[in-house]
Amino acid sequence: MLNMLNIKQLSCTLLLTLVSVGTTAAAADTPSLKLVEDGTEVITELPPQIVDGHVMIPIRTAAKLWGKNIKYDEKAGVVEVSDRMKVIWEDKSKGIKLSGSPGEDGMYKRMGISTPNFTRNYLPIESVTTNRDLQVTTTDLTGDGEEEIIVITNIGYGTGLSLSDLVVLDAHGGSILHEDPLIAMMKQFTGRITEQGVKVNLNGKVTKISKAQIAAEPSHLFGPGIGSILYYSVENNTLHARAAVQISPAEFIGDLRVSYVYKNGILQAGQASFEPYPEYQSN
């Protein structure tokens, strides 16, 4: 079938295997097929066909349905399929662009970054949306005189699910590792519920919150523990992370915080601190 196509039209009409149908019937011996997306027929350059037991559709149609770009290099004989990227953040003064592949659900996936010094087509970041708290900062975290690029995405739903990502790149696009802040916090933190209220112990320093300050019913109390929602920030050339201390499904009493120091090729979490929220602070 492909031999009958004009090579100049190949980028539009090249057929792609969609699914095996378990038959070897020729296309001419089978009824005409329709391509239907969510109940609506999709009109294609060539109708879907069965070839050697496989349903075939034009590859450009498949690329459009699945949010891909397609390009045919006739000289090299290569059909290139790539993600459709859209700029979602840009610093024109520094020439930095953060791009993602938009999906039909409003999420951007397969994050990439380009700068005057380097381009990375993939960053290990979960899907983001346009209303997600996206921060891109440039500062010298390592003290080497060159600015690193810090990409932070923070979001949380309810009290248990967190989508929080941090990527730190050096001036040449290399990844800089960082310690997990939750693990660093858990190594330094203990707490318990008492008849008088809550005790938080952080590296031997005890903070007490009285029973009268707690809103939750005694039967709903647990922990205290560290909530799973993380927030990163960069202040004064220093990376920080914080997470809330939780004593019931809906009650949080304060934040645990750690600051990072660059040492031995990694951003290391330092000593944690605990700051009760104003309503839980002693008068």
* Domain ranges across the chain: 2-83, 86-175, 178-280
Give the list of residues 6+ apart from residue 187 with CB closer than 8 angstroms, or none. none
Q: 179-198 burial, b for 16+ CB within 10 Å, e for fewer?
A: eebbebbeebbebebeeebb
- pLDDT at position 156 over 70: no
Q: How confident is the model at residue 198 (pLDDT cuts 50, 70, 90)?
A: very high
Q: Which residue has the tokens 């879907």?
A: 48
Give backbone dihedrals phi and psi of 139, rounded to 5 degrees, phi first. -165, 165
pLDDT confidence bin for 268, thresholds 50/70/90: very high
Of 88-92, 128-132, 233-237, the least confident: 128-132
* pLDDT at residue 123 in the model: 84
pLDDT band at 18 (very low <50, low <70, confident <90, very high): low
- For the cut 50, the answer to whether the pLDDT of residue 62 exceeds it is yes
pLDDT higher than threshold 60 for residue 131? no
Residue 95 tokens read as: 């020439």
Q: Are 192 and 208 in contact (CB under 8 A)?
A: no
